């Protein structure tokens, strides 16, 4: 995905992140997407795939917690693993 200009990659990635985090400010999501683009593995992906890949530990953790926790308790359970956030 290196042929996609950085600004478009970042915007598309931030848009995908916003699909998951409606309450987070758009500028913060763009900043996160900018940081994600520094990771060569994520940068090689389509921006929407990169966002979903980065979110996977959070979404997988939430799904596992909801499968074993009482109704409504999953939002109180932290993700089981997190990806390092590095610029």
Q: How do residues 7-48 score in pLDDT, each as one tens digit?
A: 999 999 999 999 998 899 999 999 999 999 999 999 999 999
| Contact (CB, 8 A) for 86 and 35 | yes
Residue 85 included in any domain? no
CA angle, corner 49, sides to 43 and 55, nearest 5?
100
Residue 87 included in any domain? no
Q: Which residues contact 21 (CB under 8 A, 6 or more apart)?
A: 29
Residue 25 included in any domain? yes
Residue that wins the pLDDT comparison between 70 and 8: 8
| The total number of structural domains that make up the chain | 1
Residue 81, pLDDT > 80, answer no
Domain extent at residue 68: 6-75
Residue 46 included in any domain? yes
Whole-number average pLDDT of the chain: 79
**What is residue 9's predicted lDDT score, i.e. its pLDDT?**
97
Residue 32 included in any domain? yes
Rounded-to-integer distance, Cα 36 and Cα 33, Å: 5
Residue 81 included in any domain? no
């Amino acid at each position: 995905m290196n042929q996609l200009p950085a600004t478009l990659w970042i915007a598309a990635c931030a848009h995908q992140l916003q699909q998951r985090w409606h309450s987070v400010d758009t500028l913060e999501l763009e900043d996160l997407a900018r940081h994600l683009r520094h990771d060569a593995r994520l940068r090689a992906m389509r921006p929407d795939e990169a966002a979903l890949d980065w979110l996977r530990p959070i979404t997988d953790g939430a799904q596992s917690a909801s499968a074993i926790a009482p109704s409504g308790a999953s939002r109180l359970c932290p993700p089981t693993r997190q990806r390092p956030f590095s610029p």
